Structure 1
Amino acid sequence: MRLAILLSLALLASAQAADTPPHVAVSNIRRVFHNGEHNAFTDLCRFHDQVYLTFRSCPDGHMVNPTASVIILRSNDDGATWEQVHRFSVKDRDTRDPHFLIFRNRLLVYTGTWWSGPGTIEPKDYDMNKMLGYAVWSDDGKQWNSPVMLEGTFGHYIWRAASFGDKAFLCGRRKPGFDIAAKGEGEKVQSLMLESDDGLVWKKRAYFAETAGDETAFLFESNGSVLAVGRHGGGKNAQLFRSKPPYTDWERTDLGRSIGGPLIAKWGDRIIVGGRKTTPGKGATTSLCWLIDDALQEFADFPSGGDNSYPGFVALSPTRALVSYYSSHEKNADGKTITAIYMAELSLK
């Protein structure tokens, strides 16, 4: 009897320990890129044993401008130093929200583009129906192709991509029926899971948010089930989505807070969720959380403020990782606010 009790207590202690997230040390927070332009919307990946960082850069600021371009940097030493390997733009379009996908031994960078014409347009003239996805790719990280239009994405604003098996999947949001009306991001916007065999030609797999669709990140498990974190298009709490093949039925869970520019990634056996949070009295900052039992447990809140968030994450080892983000919490020598790219190192203790 005593042995059974001791065994039960040991099992209970083990279960409690498994549910207790490890301590994460955050170090070496630094600005890694600023060129005097508005730099934003980051992503990270590891390809051929090198780390890649991408983001949007625009001399005319955050809003829709044809002067925007996407920059891709590479690090041979786990993020200590960076070199630019590619920069691209699309004529008469604002390239923004770039994201990586490693698919069929190829490194792709996707960007959702707003049509602007040859000059800057007013927000009242933004039209989701003129959105279009583009991609560049490389087989070695050195030589890059020119931007290619993604078939099947016209009228969709594309976001993060993921893959499972021989298929690639992409978040795309659009107006119901491509409605011809005033600028319509918000409650009416739909979010779709788009599917591709080659990463370039896309078709609808399923709706996962038929209202209030917004930026959504996918994470596939080994059995093909998918976990996703989606921003709420109406400004309410973010949602956790779950589905299994063929991805036609989705479960939804309220995450209890808004998340701007959401990230979901695995670090070992644990799941990380990141993005922008807003705290009364403090404003908007970029943070990372463990996802445990469908709830968020924050472990890092990075120096950030104002226009910020859209983190990228890459695991360097089971105990070391990098996170990128952008922020406008610093000023230059003239006292003017800058919007730059930042990096931090994470280690498990």
Structure 2
Amino acid sequence: MATPELVSLTKIWDAAPHNAFTDLLRFGDGWLCTFREAESHGHCPATIRVLRSADGDSWSSAAEIEEAGVDLRDPKLSVTPAGRVMLLTSANFFAPDGRYRTRSPRVAFSDDATNWTTPTRCLAEDHWLWRVTWHGTVGYSVSKLGIGNNPRRGMLYCTTDGLSWDFITEFILPDDIWTASETTVRVMPDGEMIALIRPDWIGSSQPPYDEWSFTRIKASLGGPNFIRTPDGTLWASARGRSATDEPATVLARMTRDSYIPALVLPSGGDCSYPGMVWYEGLLWMTYYSSHEGRSSIYLARVRLPSD
């Protein structure tokens, strides 16, 4: 099979000591990129930065979202059925000595990506809604739920406004393995929902999405994301391993029961958590990496093979 081609790669942000956990959105006639800024990877206060670009080449800060003393993590962008930008993130709380205390999801909205509503809590403590995918007027998201700082139960929820969420089902993995964590779901044209699940699962379900089948894949994913391109192909990205078995951001071909790495992007160390958008014949990806020093935000443009 032909290999994807890296067309361009640009470092677009490195202002904070640690810049990480990205998402990318095409909004109106421009681009939005969001990520976490902090002193380190975790267990410290953190803010959410939103960047704006008209062309993908020049980027500037549009907003900074914070909650005093709180670690805001894993921001995700989407456009609601009402046409507003929605930012979904997790608010993690730690004791002064760094021990985990609790967490809960936060959601904020904007019409222009600069002026945001105050982040509002949704769901109960210990939930962590990760990425929302809108299908018609309904948004779907998997919450990784668990007591402590290592949540490993996946709960599928739906919403019509981003504020109130209704439970659909729990992901019951084969052999009652409780390993479901960060999850991206997408709805196919025929209504089938497919889920890419950290660390090593792909799930599929038909409406009303309360019964699932799961396939374990030969990969160890971190920050998984995937999209469906216009030709019907699924392309996924996550933290994986390079040819020398080092951490790297990997682009992979995907089906409902397979994940086949196809391209290792320039990356290493603390890295991954990609945003993915198909635009004008190219796959646009943001991700973070520390292969050039401090963890920084990168934008890649990739030409995908037609086979």
Per the normalisation by structure 1, the TM-score is 0.81
- Shift in CA distance, 30/184, structure 1 to aligned 2, threshold 3 Å: closer
Deviation at 1:198, TM superposition (A): 0.8
1:261 aligns to what? 223
1:14 aligns to what? none
> Are 2:291 and 1:329 aligned?
yes
1:277 aligns to what? 240
* Conserved 8 A contact 2:242-2:264: no
- 5 Å-filtered alignment, 1:1-349, equals 23-58=3-38, 60-66=39-45, 68-77=46-55, 79-104=56-81, 105-116=83-94, 119=96, 121-122=97-98, 125-127=99-101, 130-150=102-122, 152-175=123-146, 183=148, 185=150, 189-209=152-172, 211-232=178-199, 238-268=200-230, 269-279=232-242, 281-292=244-255, 294-317=257-280, 319-331=281-293, 338-348=294-304
Q: Which structure: greater helix fraction?
A: 1
In 2, the alpha carbon distance for the partners of 1:164 and 1:216 equals: 16
Deviating above 4 A after TM superposition, structure 1's stretches of 4 or more consecutive aligned residues are none
What are the Cα deviations for residues 134-161 of structure 1, in whole angstroms up to 9, with x where unaligned? 12211233432222222x2422022111
| Paired residue type of 2:76 | H
Unaligned runs of at least 5 residues, structure 2: none
Q: How many residues in Structure 1 have an aligned counterpart in Structure 2?
A: 299
What are the Cα deviations for residues 210-255 of structure 1, in whole angstroms up to 9, with x where unaligned? 62120000111123221010013xxxxx110001111111110112
Name the SS for the 1:330 alignment partner: coil
Deviation at 1:280, TM superposition (A): 7.2
* Conserved 8 A contact 1:192-1:209: no
* Conserved 8 A contact 1:164-1:224: no
Deviation at 1:267, TM superposition (A): 1.9
In 2, the alpha carbon distance for the partners of 1:198 and 1:293 equals: 29
- Shift in CA distance, 253/93, structure 1 to aligned 2, threshold 3 Å: same
| Paired residue type of 2:18 | H
| Paired residue type of 1:141 | A
- Shift in CA distance, 327/226, structure 1 to aligned 2, threshold 3 Å: same
Name the SS for the 2:207 alignment partner: coil
* Conserved 8 A contact 2:203-2:256: no
Deviation at 1:293, TM superposition (A): 6.5
- Shift in CA distance, 306/345, structure 1 to aligned 2, threshold 3 Å: same
Deviation at 1:279, TM superposition (A): 4.6
In 2, the alpha carbon distance for the partners of 1:228 and 1:190 equals: 14
1:11 aligns to what? none
Deviation at 1:115, TM superposition (A): 1.0
Determine what percentage of the aligned residue pairs are the same residue. Answer: 27
CA RMSD of aligned residues (A): 1.9
| Paired residue type of 2:87 | V
In 1, the alpha carbon distance for the partners of 2:181 and 2:226 equals: 15
In 2, the alpha carbon distance for the partners of 1:297 and 1:281 equals: 17
Per the normalisation by structure 2, the TM-score is 0.91
Name the SS for the 2:71 alignment partner: strand
* Conserved 8 A contact 2:32-2:51: yes
